[in-house]
């Protein structure tokens, strides 16, 4: 019988994948399917807390007993779900000698421009477990905090990231952090750099529709792929130490067209169900280029140029990129705010 596609990717290519959910039962299935890490965010943590309110009641009560301010309480509540996930995947962390087996813990999205606040959260979250990857936004402030964290030995994931300039800037700042860690005689933390591939497509689709641009739906479906393939090629060429994570998938094609790439895919349970099929093509397609005609049509959108060209944006512009503010707002309103308003058991 033909091996299911998700297992084939994990066993036969350079592409690895993380489970995109903080729910323990879903994570157990993901680990059985070959996941080697866990993506969480405030929304996913709040969802897991709600589903396991009774099971984790003692831990939830303990957080409320501390009398923390809403922001700190939200972080502490998130930590319950994150620590449980960290335990589940700790074996992978040990077996891979700290290469994989990480769990993301995201700082307050409302603090995306506040260096001091994010650094304080990063230091606190990193103490929850040895295999925590603190999730920072890929803003100018987030890049500064990444460098400081790396120099202190804290592993980070840079998220709210959609573009080639963001993942290149992340890799460069990580290298500076590694240099500082060496001078401090500290083992640097690892670094993961996210491309929210589907959110980029969603954003460019809205832009194209609003402008009535001559860009087809099939073109849009290849925009994030074009950015990701170019990022992978430049990472390989420059020998970056950072690992690219491809997140926010919108279909199985986002994995099948990147199979063989040296990336980590973040895959939600709903897409895992589609990818365990043995019927998907078992072939590496990372080096299959996006058609030049598609690139030319997409390039009529300035927002695609910003995402696709290495010099399309500078770090101070990252926080102003169209989809950034929308994503930060969604992470706060649909996630962190839920944690701030979470009720005691």
Identify the structural domains of the chain with CATH numbers, from first to last.
5-340 (3.20.20.70)
**pLDDT of res. 2:** 62
pLDDT of 341 strictly over 70 = yes
Q: Do 115 and 145 form a contact (C-beta atoms < 8 A)?
A: yes
Span 120-128, mean pLDDT?
A: 98
pLDDT of 1 strictly over 70 = no
% of residues, the chain, pLDDT over 90: 97
Span 330-339, mean pLDDT?
A: 96
Query: In which band, very low, low, confident or very high, does the pLDDT at 287 lie, cut at 50, 70 and 90?
Result: very high
Span 228-238, mean pLDDT?
A: 98
Query: In which band, very low, low, confident or very high, does the pLDDT at 232 lie, cut at 50, 70 and 90?
Result: very high
Candidates 85, 50, 26; CA nearest to 270 is 26
Kindly tell me the sign of the dihedral angle through the C-alpha atoms of 199, 262, 170, 304: negative
Q: Which residues contact 124 (CB under 8 A, 6 or more apart)?
A: 75
**pLDDT of res. 108:** 98
Please write the tens of the pLDDT for every residue from 265-278. 999 999 999 999 88
Q: Which residues contact 116 (CB under 8 A, 6 or more apart)?
A: none
Please write the tens of the pLDDT for every residue from 22-75. 999 999 999 999 999 999 999 999 999 999 999 999 999 999 999 999 999 999
């Amino acid at each position: 019988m033909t091996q299911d596609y998700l297992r084939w990717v994990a066993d036969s290519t350079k592409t690895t994948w993380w489970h995109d959910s903080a729910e323990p039962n879903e994570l157990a299935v993901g680990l059985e399917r070959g996941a080697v890490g866990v993506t969480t965010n405030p929304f996913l943590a709040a969802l897991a807390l709600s589903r396991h309110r009774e099971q984790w009641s003692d831990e939830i009560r303990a957080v409320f007993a501390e009398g923390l301010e809403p922001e700190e309480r939200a972080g502490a509540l998130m930590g319950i779900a994150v620590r449980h996930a960290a335990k589940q995947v700790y074996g992978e962390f040990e077996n891979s000698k700290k290469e994989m087996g990480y769990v993301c813990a995201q700082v307050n999205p409302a603090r995306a421009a506040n260096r001091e606040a994010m650094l304080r959260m990063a230091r606190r979250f990193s103490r929850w477990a040895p295999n925590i990857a603190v999730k920072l936004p890929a803003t100018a402030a987030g890049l500064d905090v990444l460098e400081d964290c790396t120099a202190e030995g804290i592993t980070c994931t840079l998220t709210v990231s959609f573009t080639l300039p963001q993942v290149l800037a992340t890799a460069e700042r990580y290298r500076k952090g590694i240099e500082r860690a060496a001078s401090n005689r500290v083992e640097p933390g690892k670094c993961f750099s996210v491309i929210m591939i589907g959110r980029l497509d969603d954003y460019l689709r809205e832009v194209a529709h609003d402008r009535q641009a001559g860009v087809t739906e099939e073109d849009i479906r290849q925009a994030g792929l074009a950015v990701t393939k170019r990022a992978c090629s430049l990472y390989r060429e420059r020998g970056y130490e950072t690992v690219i994570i491809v997140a926010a998938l919108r279909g199985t094609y986002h994995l099948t067209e990147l199979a063989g790439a040296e990336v980590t895919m973040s895959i939600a349970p709903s897409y895992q169900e589609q990818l365990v099929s043995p019927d998907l093509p078992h072939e590496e397609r990372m080096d299959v280029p996006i058609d030049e005609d598609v690139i030319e049509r997409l390039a009529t959108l300035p927002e695609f140029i910003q995402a696709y060209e290495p010099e399309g944006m500078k770090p101070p512009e990252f926080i102003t990129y169209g989809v950034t503010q929308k994503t930060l707002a969604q992470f706060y309103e649909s996630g962190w705010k839920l944690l701030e308003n979470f009720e005691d058991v």
